[in-house]
Structure 1
C-alpha cells in the first residue's frame, strides 16, 4: 500500500482487508505444520528407510492451502510481485486508475471463471468420494479441491476491496 492509503481510512475496504488478513495469518500456521510433516517424513525415510505416502500427500495439501489462501492475503497487503517496468514509477493516482480499470475488466472476470469452474470440479470430486489413487494415500480429495473456490472467493473479495479503496481515493482526490 502507498503511504496515502495508510493515512486515509476507507472503512469498508479496511474491514474487508482486516477480515482477509486474519484468515491469512491463521492459514499461515499450516506452514508450521508443513515443516513438521516434512521433518517427520525425512526422519522416517532417511532414519528408518520407511516414508509414508499419506505424509507426502499431506505435504502437497498443506503447501497448496498456504499458497491458495496466500493469494488473497498478498492482494490485500499489496505484497504480490509485479512484473512491470513502468508501474513503480507512476504517480499514486495513476496507479489507482490502472487498478480501477483493470480489476473489473481483466482480473475479476478471470477469478470468476476459475471460481465457477471449480464448483463443479469440487462437486464431482465429492459425488464420487474421490481419494488418493495410492492405497495408503489420503482419502477425501474433495476437501483439498474445496480450497479452490473458497480461496478464489476470498481473492475476489480482496480485489473488490482494492477496487473500493482505489475508487474512493480517486473520488476524494487523495494523491
Structure 2
C-alpha cells in the first residue's frame, strides 16, 4: 500500500501542476476573444481561425483540468443521502463510484477516443469553415483529458482504501489554501513588521 500511496502522490502532483497552468488557457481564450471583437468592430475583419482557437483553448482547459477538478473535490456530487451516513459509508460509496462508474466510463472514452484522434491526425482533418484550423489538436484533448481523469480516479481510490486501513487522514477533507490576496496581505504585514522593528 505504501508503494501505491507514493504512486497516488505522484498522480496528485501531476494533475496539480497541469491544473495550475491550464488556467492560463482561459486567459488566452479571453484575450483572443476580446482582440477578435475589437478587430471585427474597428477593421471590419474577422476570421474563423480566431473563433475556433477560442473553442480549442476552452476545450483544452475543460478536458485537461478534469483530473485537477477531481483532485480538488470539485466534481458534482449528489450527497443528500450520503451526507447522512457515517464517514466509512461515504468512503465506501466513493470507492464503489470510482471502481464501477468513473473507471469504466474513462476506459470506454479512451477506447473510442484514441482511434478518433488518430484518424483525425493521419487524415490531417481540417475544419469545414473557411480559414478554419486543423482538428486533430482538439481531438487529442479527449484521450488526454480522460487519461488524466482516470489516473486521478485511481489516486482517489488508493487514498480512500488507505484511509480505511488507517494509514492516512481523511482524503475528502479539503485542505484550505491561502488565496493570492491573503498571501499578498501576509507578505505586506511581515514587511511592515520588519520595518517597524528596525531601530530608528
TM-score, length of structure 2 as denominator length = 0.77
Counterparts of 2:84 and 2:45 in 1: how far apart (Å)? 54
- Structure 1 residues 111, 94: CA separation in 2 closer, same or farther (over 3 Å shift)? same
Aligned to 2:162: 168
Aligned to 1:144: 138
Q: Superposition RMSD on alpha carbons, in Å?
A: 1.6
- Structure 1 residues 91, 51: CA separation in 2 closer, same or farther (over 3 Å shift)? farther
Structure 1: runs of 5+ lacking an equivalent? 1-9
From 1, 25, 30, give the equivalent of 2:20. Answer: 25
Q: Which runs of 4+ in 1 moved over 6 A?
A: none
In the TM superposition, 1:6-155 aligns within 5 A as: 10-139=5-134, 141-155=135-149
Residues matched between the structures, number: 165
Is the partner of 2:165 in helix, strand or coil?
Answer: helix
State the structure with bigger RCO (CA 8 A, min sep 6), 1 or 2: 1
Q: Deviations over 1:13-52 (max 9, x none)?
A: 2221111110111122111111110111110122222221
Bigger Cα Rg = 2
Structure 2: runs of 5+ lacking an equivalent? 171-200
TM-score, length of structure 1 as denominator length = 0.87
